[in-house]
Structure 1
């Protein structure tokens, strides 16, 4: 695990976007396609806009989310809409977006449909970008949810989750799927997130802080990308 600190968010967004673009371009050169998994929220929006201008063959890139709230694209909480409106723009408009949200009414029972959609992605994922919540959750692997143990231990590609501390049912990639990546990045900004990172690194209980299952493993390289 490496901690990569930038002096400000502008520098982070510029250099991080350049690094991701190079990873994708190298994957395209090596195997003719590339896969990118991103996370929602407000933190990555300027990064998405920077990355969308990268001069690579986006037609050979497939993109999906690490997790999604079970809401329609018209809903303000939709991460799908956030990615479509901020990342799949400019040159990146040619990329293929693989949706986690399906037509099923509930996320529970929709896992087979989502898993089928995810077959359009090439595993291992070339680059996975995760966020991290104040409670130490990542993707939708919430410590408060009844599904946390299953999410950490399941061999399935995805899992429906109902957090008790956040609204909406979710669909999340399982820990096994998240770790099936060539490179993982934990993207965080601000002093409060640095405190959470330090707390996560200081302990070992993954049920208390699921982000530890990412940070404290040695099967997949992890870089923490941070700026104050």
Structure 2
């Protein structure tokens, strides 16, 4: 299992400021080295403050591609869309200049949509420079849900597809998700969680046990670099 570097904060606002700066530094370093950078972000309510802080930072955003770690099978006008969340909270102010690559498209079935999204992800200069993950109290991260229909495939370190579809009892709509290899190859992997409940789940995830029980274990065990935990109450 990879090590977890713990960054603990008293408030979510302090966390958002510090993590935004960390991400900005990594993206700017990538731009300086290669002329471009890539960032994959997660949805939910937790990252809103982070997105707002990051959007104001002085990065050469025109050279940054932003995409999603996972997405629901809904259009960008839907309130549950991660695309919509990113547009509202991240892709504004200075970050409005970034290129955005959504996962959802109109290709047809969830599997067709995933295949089309995978082609577009594969066309990027991989690996990602930064991947920001969240985690649910059920131990899911990305759309690696316990009991997921394709959980074994999306968490396979040898998975050959960059994006796959998955359905699970706790997921609501069918989902699209980056697969494990795309996540664990990232230059910087951040696990951004808030609240004592999630901290307790993470403590369990760091113990022995099957990855299928708490799928965040797949990332913790396969990450190529230490996972950076950012936590606040």
For the 8 Å contact 1:61–1:95, the answer to whether it is kept is yes
Correspondence list, 1:187-202, <5 A: 187-202=192-207
Residue 87 (structure 2) aligns with = 84
Q: Which runs of 5+ in 1 are unaligned?
A: none
Deviations along 1:57-97, whole A, 9 cap, x unmatched? 00000000000001011111100000011100000000000
CA deviation profile, 1:119-143 (whole Å, cap 9, x unmatched):
3432111010000011111101111
Structure 1 match to 2:138: 135
Is there any run of 5+ residues in structure 2 with no aligned partner, and where?
none
Q: Normalization by structure 1: what TM-score?
A: 0.96
The runs of at least 4 aligned residues of structure 1 exceeding 6 Å deviation read: none
Instruction: Provide the residue aligned with 2:12 in structure 1.
Output: 9
Residue 162 of structure 2 corresponds to residue 157 of structure 1 = yes
Number of residue pairs the alignment of both structures matches:
228
Q: Within the alignment, does 1:21 sit opposite 2:24 as a pair?
A: yes
Match in the other structure for 1:203 = 208
Residue 166 (structure 1) aligned to one of 139, 148, 171: 171
Given that residues 144 and 164 in structure 1 are in contact (C-alpha distance below 8 angstroms), is that contact kept between their aligned partners in structure 2? yes
| Shift, 1:145, TM fit | 1.1
Q: CA deviation at 1:181?
A: 0.6
Q: Assess, with a 3 A threshold, how the Cα gap between structure 1 residues 218 and 168 changes in structure 2: closer, same or farther.
A: closer
Offset of 1:10 from its aligned partner?
1.2
Deviates more, 1:41-50 or 1:102-111: 102-111
Q: CA RMSD in A?
A: 1.1
Answer yes or no: is the 8 Å Cα contact 1:98–1:120 preserved in 2.
no
Q: Is the 8 A contact 1:98 1:121 kept in 2?
A: no
